[in-house]
Amino acid sequence: MRTAPRGAKDDAVPGAAAEAVPRLPSARLAAWLRLARTRGVGPRTAAGLLAVFGDPESIFRAGRDALAVHAGPALARTLALAPTPDTERLVEATLRWREAPGHHVLALGEPGYPALLAQIPDPPLLLYIKGRVDLLAGPCLAVVGSRNASQQGKANAQAFAEALSGAGLRIVSGLALGIDAAAHEGALRRPGGTIAVVGTGPDLVYPARNRELAARIAETGCIASEYPIGTPPLPSNFPKRNRIISGLAAGVLVVEAAARSGSLITARQAAEQGRDVFAIPGSIHAALAKGCHELIREGAKLVDTAHDVLEALALSPLAAMRVPVVRQPAEEGDVLLLALGHGPVAPDALQAALGWQAGELGARLLVLELQGQLERLPGGWVQRVVTGATTCHPTTCEVDKADKQR
């Protein structure tokens, strides 16, 4: 689908393993903060003003008459006003926050700002970074999906992210529950690393359940936000930050999504930004596969291995690398596993297919559930869980003799 090229206080101390980025002088950062907080100035308006005047300090020195020519009289009057006390307090708080190791504030057009993100129609004026700022300069892939993900969806997200991070990609996601958290977890296991784009200020963690995960990301990965210090998790923040998730990346992989999932918005924004869109298919009976199937119908690339993604991104040095393969548990003739297949199934249908008594079937299903090989779905349905098998690289997969004879 390529059309044109989430609060509790976070006590984590990010690691200092970040490549040096020139720090904005305090006066220049103050001007950026003032511009970003000016009522009526969004990313597009700011970009227009910067194109004319060059930098925020020059905008505020220009005078009302010069500003009115390019911004109109009303906005010119607003820009000519002195900074408000709230803005001055924010500047002081930001300068203090920036002094901590691993804390950075990047400005549009300034050194260190991600080049791909700067190309989208509405790039954020400022990015608050906690952790390894150097990750923003590397090749990135966004991995997104449902917050209320199935166990299989989370296993797929973690396996894909681990394999792709192992091939050198930085995995970008949104620190939400479900697919996002699983993708971050997988990426942290490999050297590519992970970037969490959050919908709060960089000093907060939302959801609070992901506090420990956020601390690990800040230590060896990177947390990024366009929202200033102290910004709470407002509902409107999260759809807006999705453009940054896709904007940082060369492509977006949707692992699992319902028909009206917010992940579809991210995927479509990615297509509008000229990014590749990938989707993992699922069972036709699974509600959480409907969104991915819709994207595939719209032109997203169907993928079922990490190699598919690497190959499509044309990262030839990366695509040639071996990625970890986790074998499926040997079925060894287990008729129940074979009957379960890989999609949602009703226990009544299993009972009819196997000819077992309800008590025997229930006991066997419970054993699989306790082993992590089965999850229960709404409506009493069940689904088999396979971990890691989706990361197989064509050059490393072993095909058994029976498959070779087919």
Secondary structure (3-state) at 92: helix
- Tell me how far apart the alpha carbons of residues 14 and 22 are, in angstroms, rounded to a whole number: 18
Query: Residues of CATH 1.10.10.10 domain(s) within the chain?
Result: 335-385
**Helices 151-166 and 179-188: angle between axes, nearest 10 degrees:** 30
Secondary structure (3-state) at 9: strand
Tell me which residue of 258, 136, 253 sits closest to 197, measured CA to CA: 136
**Helices 237-247 and 262-272: angle between axes, nearest 10 degrees:** 40
Query: Residues of CATH 1.10.150 domain(s) within the chain?
Result: 23-100
pLDDT of 352: 79
Sequence letter at residue 33? L
pLDDT of 388: 58
Domain 131-319: assigned CATH number? 3.40.50.450
Residue with tokens 């004879």: 405
Exposed, middle or buried by CB within 10 Å (0-12, 13-18, 19+), for 248? Answer: buried
> Rounded to whole angstroms, what are the CA distances from 91 to 3, 123, 186?
40, 21, 36
pLDDT of 94: 97
CATH architecture designation of domain 335-385? Orthogonal Bundle (1.10)
Pairing of strands 251-254, 140-144: parallel
Sequence letter at residue 70? H
Q: What phi and psi values does residue 344 have, to the nearest 5 degrees?
A: -60, 140
Domain 23-100: assigned CATH number? 1.10.150
Which pLDDT tens digits describe the chain residue by residue (406 residues)?
Answer: 543 333 333 333 334 344 468 889 999 999 999 999 999 998 889 988 998 999 999 999 998 899 999 899 999 999 999 999 999 999 999 999 999 999 999 999 899 999 999 999 999 999 999 999 999 998 999 999 999 999 889 999 999 999 999 988 999 999 999 999 999 999 999 999 999 999 999 999 999 999 999 999 999 999 999 999 999 999 999 999 999 999 999 999 999 999 988 899 999 999 999 999 999 999 888 899 999 999 999 999 999 999 899 888 875 333 333 333 333 444 434 778 777 777 787 888 888 778 888 777 877 787 787 777 788 887 778 888 876 544 444 333 332 333 333 3
